Amino acid sequence: MAISDLLNELTKPTFMTDPDLELKLKIINIQQLDDAAGDVSGLAVKCLAPLVRKMNEPMVVEMSSQLCDKILNGKDQHWVNIGTLLLALL
């Protein structure tokens, strides 16, 4: 599923998740945030808020922790910029 398709699905009120799907979506979203293409990482940023609304709280906490880790241990300014924006959305 392309990240733009994911964004479209996440905005549908009928879209539901289960724990397995939440885990897969979390992993994919974090991977896409690291994509070199600006449009892909930009769409991944847009996916975060609707994704978090669909996830259960422990998964949101885990995702937040991973984002904080990327910000603190990132080797480039890219993760600091994106990570700070994402955490503000949470």
| Domain residue spans of the chain | 3-89
How does residue 36 score in pLDDT terms, banded at 50, 70 and 90?
confident
pLDDT exceeds cutoff 90 at 20: yes
The residue to which tokens 């992993």 are assigned: 27
- Alpha carbon distances (Å) from 39 to 1, 16, 74: 16, 26, 20
Please give the Cα distance from 77 to 55 (Å, whole number).
Answer: 28
For the segment 13-33, the average pLDDT, to the nearest whole number, is 90
How does residue 30 score in pLDDT terms, banded at 50, 70 and 90?
confident
For the segment 62-87, the average pLDDT, to the nearest whole number, is 78
pLDDT exceeds cutoff 70 at 90: no
